[in-house]
Amino acid sequence: MLEISNLKAAIDGKEILKGINLKVNPGEVHAIMGPNGSGKSTLANVLAGREEYEVLAGNIMYNGENLLELDPEERAHKGIFLAFQYPVEIPGVSNVYFLRTAFNEIRKANGLEEIDAANFLKLIRSKMELVEMDKTLMNRSVNEGFSGGEKKRNEIFQMAVLEPKLSILDETDSGLDIDALRIVANGVNALRNSNNATVVVTHYQRLLQYIVPDFVHVLYNGQIVKSGGKELALELEEKGYDWLK
């Protein structure tokens, strides 16, 4: 599904990713762990197509296509979803309008008919329950005045509605208390199936107790320095990142 080869990327002229190789198949959950500044968020943002990040070398193939040639919206149309580390507040745009527009744009791009407001509301009801989303948040402006936990839940709720093929969760656990963490993780787990894949970017092992990965990769100084199974996460928790230097 996703194959990253020798990816080098920079922001503001500073090279952050220094040759990443990663292969993700359908049905898999990959965790990317690493200390602050190792390049985790850069990787997530490059995958989503954020223009501030400059790709210096390497390539990313996604279902046989060169991902780097696609605009962010085209990537979304093809099933890529980034759950933001810092979800953006958009005053004046209601959550439900925003999500329906996104939903319909993805459908349009895939040759499907758009869905009207009433049917859309029916469709999202069960997804709201999945992440215990408060109904009143739907008519409020996107993320405006949401608590940290509500913002993160809103990301997973959007993911549930848009049903992406490849989800990238960028530090989704940061700033969550244990209850919110459980809700978010339950949501992610419920959406897992053999056709989609998830990349979980995180600093701590905590989230991985709830979202159990098939593979764990350690990102350090812009490179993946170690890969392994889920037990690698526990080892990191115990020893910290220093032993990898």
Partner 1 sequence: MNSIEKNTEKYLDAFRTHFNGEAKQAFHATREKAVDTFSRLGFPSTKKEEWRFTNVAEISRKQFSPAGRNSSETVSVSDVEKFMFSDWDGPVLVVVNGYFKEKLSNLDSLSDKVKVESLAKILDNNDKAANKLGQNAIWADEAFTALNTAFTKDGCVITVDANSENSKPVHLMHISTGDAILSSPRTVVNINKNANITIVESFHSLNSKDSFTNIVSEIFVDENAHLKHYKLQDVDTNSFLVGNCAINQNQNSTYQSVAMDFGGKLVRNNISLALNGENISSILNGLYIAQGEQHIDNHTFIDHAQPHCESHELYRGILKDKAKGVFSGKILVRQDAQKTDAKQSNNCLLLSEDARIDTKPQLEIYADDVKCTHGATVGQLDESALFYLRARGVPYKKAMSILTYAFAEEVIDSIKTDAFKNKVEALLLERLEKSLV
Give the residue with the Cβ less far from partner 1, 103 or 215: 103
CB 197 within 8 A of CB 166: yes
**Which region, judged by CB under 8 A, interacts with partner 1, from 6-14, 73-81, 117-125, 234-242?**
73-81
Does residue 77 belong to the site contacting partner 1 (CB under 8 A)? Answer: yes
Hey, CA dihedral for 114, 118, 123, 125, is it positive or negative?
A: positive
The SS3 call for residue 243 is: helix
Does residue 17 belong to the site contacting partner 1 (CB under 8 A)? Answer: no
Enclosing H/E stretch for 94: strand 90-94
Task: Kindly state the smallest distance separating residue 236's Cβ from partner 1, in Å.
Answer: 29
User: How far, in Å, CA of 245 to CA of 75, rounded?
Assistant: 35
Give the residue with the Cβ less far from partner 1, 17 or 48: 48
User: How far, in Å, CA of 188 to CA of 201, rounded?
Assistant: 13
For residue 139, give the amino acid letter. N
- Of 81-100, binders to partner 1 (CB under 8 A) are 81-82, 84, 87-93, 98-99
Does residue 139 belong to the site contacting partner 1 (CB under 8 A)? Answer: no
| Cβ burial 37-74 (10 Å sphere, 16+ → b, else e) | ebbbbbbbbbbbbeeebeeeebebebeeeebbebeeee
Does residue 225 belong to the site contacting partner 1 (CB under 8 A)? Answer: no
Give the residue with the Cβ less far from partner 1, 142 or 218: 142
- Of 183-212, binders to partner 1 (CB under 8 A) are none
CB 189 within 8 A of CB 220: no
Give the residue with the Cβ less far from partner 1, 33 or 106: 106
Exactly one of 18, 50, 140, 230 binds partner 1 (CB under 8 A); which one?
A: 50
Does residue 123 belong to the site contacting partner 1 (CB under 8 A)? Answer: no
The SS3 call for residue 84 is: coil
The DSSP 8-state label assigned to residue 49 in this structure reads: T
Number of residues in contact with partner 1 under rule CB under 8 A = 32
Residue 119 dihedral angles phi and psi, to the nearest 5° = -70, -30
Which residues of the shown chain bind partner 1 in the complex (CB under 8 A)?
48-51, 71-73, 75-77, 81-82, 84, 87-93, 98-99, 101-103, 105-106, 109, 141-142, 158, 162
